[in-house]
């Protein structure tokens, strides 16, 4: 099983703070959705059932970043709404707790006033490959797929800091840079 499919090693010991952070992340997603709806947006929300942090050395050179596994009961709504050519804006809302990164990724189509919000979390201890790749390429992707592996879509970000805590510290600690 590739890293892309399973990075569950070390995820079993969840602290109460981590459990609470996941609950808050979903509450934040709902609050963001409510704000958008008040502004006249159509909003689709979904928690990822799993998020992997994948780097190039994990297998495929062109497939790296955050891989969000979308529950089957949300896959159709995602597929029907998402078009990579029209979802031209995004926001990332991040909280870091006990070595885990909790995210709400908001994808926006400003013309149709449609937003897709996905809540996810990943373990920073398992993210070195993704962070290294993001630093070297100066970009990051979010990939969205179903439990059975059906790809729903991908988004490329030219900013990595909103998704990765303390990028500068990571660069200093591991001596990683675009030319390294």
* Tens digit of each residue's pLDDT (9 = 90 or more) over 21-46: 999 999 999 999 999 999 999 999 99
Dump strand ranges (E) for the chain.
42-47, 50-54, 65-70, 89-97, 100-109, 114-123, 140-146, 151-157
Structure tokens at 18: 């981590």
Q: Which pLDDT does position 59 carry in this prediction?
A: 61
> Could you give the residue ranges of the DSSP H alpha helices within 15-151?
16-38, 72-81, 128-137
What's the mean per-residue pLDDT of the chain?
89
Of 42-46, 141-145, 163-167, the one with minimum mean pLDDT is: 163-167
- Measured in degrees and rounded to the nearest 5, phi and psi for residue 20 equal -65, -40
pLDDT-derived band at 83, boundaries 50, 70, 90: very high
């Amino acid at each position: 099983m590739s890293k892309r499919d399973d990075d569950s090693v070390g995820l079993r010991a969840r602290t109460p703070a981590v459990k609470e952070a996941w609950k808050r992340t979903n509450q934040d997603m709902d609050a963001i959705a409510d704000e958008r709806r008040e502004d006249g947006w159509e909003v689709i929300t979904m928690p990822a059932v799993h998020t992997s942090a994948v780097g190039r050395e994990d297998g495929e050179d062109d497939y790296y970043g955050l891989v969000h596994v979308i529950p089957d009961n949300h896959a159709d709504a995602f597929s029907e709404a998402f078009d990579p050519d029209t979802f031209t804006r995004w926001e990332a809302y991040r909280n870091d707790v006990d070595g885990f990164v909790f995210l709400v990724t908001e994808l926006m189509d400003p013309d149709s006033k449609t937003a897709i919000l996905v809540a996810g979390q990943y373990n920073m201890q398992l993210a070195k490959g993704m962070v290294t790749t993001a630093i070297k390429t100066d970009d990051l992707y979010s990939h969205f797929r179903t439990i059975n592996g059906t790809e729903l879509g991908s988004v490329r970000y030219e900013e990595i800091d909103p998704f990765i805590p303390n990028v500068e510290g990571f660069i200093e600690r591991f001596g990683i840079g675009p030319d390294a």
